[in-house]
Amino acid sequence: MAHLGVADLAHVAQAAYGRELRDVVRLHGGSKKGVYRLTLDDGTTGVAYVWRTSEDYWPAHEHDPLFGNASGRDLFLTAHTALSEAGACVPRLVLVHSDVVVVEDLGAEFLEKVLDHDTEALERLWDDLAAVHQRTSPRYGRPGALQPVDAPPVPDVVLQRALGHLDACCERVPRIAAERDRLEAELRQRHAVVEPRAEYGLVHGELGPDHVLVADGRPVLIDIEGAMFFDVEWEHAFLELRFGPHHRPAPGLDPARMSLYRLAQHLSLVEGPLRLLDGDFPHRDAMREIAEHNVERVLSC
């Protein structure tokens, strides 16, 4: 996959900063958009997010308004506004231009690099997330595009998605296929005991320590396009997986939802990485490790 260079982004730098662009480097990690550090002729830098088909490593997949390819300038801007208003820190906007957004370059470490010793930033993250989760809506969905009042309950949505992931996993992983009936029964049993709910919290949607920068001691959320109103247990099930012993559970989490969503998250983290490997995503060993780890977690359920 060809990456963009100075000639491709010179007009963006000129529009954002009124300066000449000296260098462009594609930063590690993006699978749905290109993330480029722009270095200007005076040595200052910015970060450009680029949403183009050529920057998306994910194979074409069935459209899903909630969990589908959460990517695009408009999703980013809507999430940026919603998270900012809820009290989270996100990178400052410098320019919105067609399919490119330029934000400040914080020059910061990822939280995953300092997780074991920067307890202040971690505690601030949990406080910020608590504030975000307290921003609620009577309907779930993406900010500005909430689902209709008569939409299926969130646990039903998660169950159907998990069953689809189970089918896909069975096609790719013989060990899961051998346990298919047991795993389907487990999903349905966990779903059956979930009680109705009429309010949903704002969640990031894919928050790991690699999606948090630490700038001057403050956690800054990135990769925010998946933000939506949803059960906060969905977020906490993912936070458990990604933060491990550093995770701080929120008071009042529903154990039944957590149980269902944990298994659903594990299935998603088998299906997604294996599907990503159908394309030309470059960091293939990391995706295989994620998939294999979650295969083991699924089978231990």
Quick one: pLDDT at residue 106? 95
Which residues of the chain are under the pLDDT cut of 70?
A: 1-2, 29-30, 57-63, 65, 68-70
Quick one: pLDDT at residue 64? 72
Quick one: pLDDT at residue 63? 59
Furthest CA-CA distance within the chain: 62
What are the φ/ψ torsions at residue 63 (nearest 5 degrees)? -65, 135
Quick one: pLDDT at residue 62? 54
Quick one: pLDDT at residue 279? 81
Task: Give the 3-state secondary structure of the chain.
Answer: CCCCCHHHHHHHHHHHHCCCEEEEEECCCCCCCEEEEEEECCCCEEEEEECCHHHCCCCCCCCCCCCCCCCCHHHHHHHHHHHHHHCCCCCCEEEEECCEEEEECCCCEEHHHHCCCCHHHHHHHHHHHHHHHCCEECCCEECCEECCCCCCCHHHHHHHHHHHHHHHHHHHCHHHHCCHHHHHHHHHHHHHCCCCCCCEEEECCCCCHHHEEEECCEEEECCCCCCEEECHHHHHHHHHHHHHHHCCCCCCCCHHHHHHHHHHHHHHHHHHHHHHCCCCCCCHHHHHHHHHHHHHHHHCC
Distance CA 267, CA 247 (A): 20
Quick one: pLDDT at residue 9? 97
Q: Which two tokens stand for residue 26?
A: 């594609």
Quick one: pLDDT at residue 210? 94
Count of beta carbons in the 10 Å neighbourhood of residue 246: 15
Task: Tell me the CA distances in angstroms from 215 to 27, 183, 184, 195, 211, one per residue in order.
Answer: 18, 42, 44, 40, 13
Quick one: pLDDT at residue 172? 96
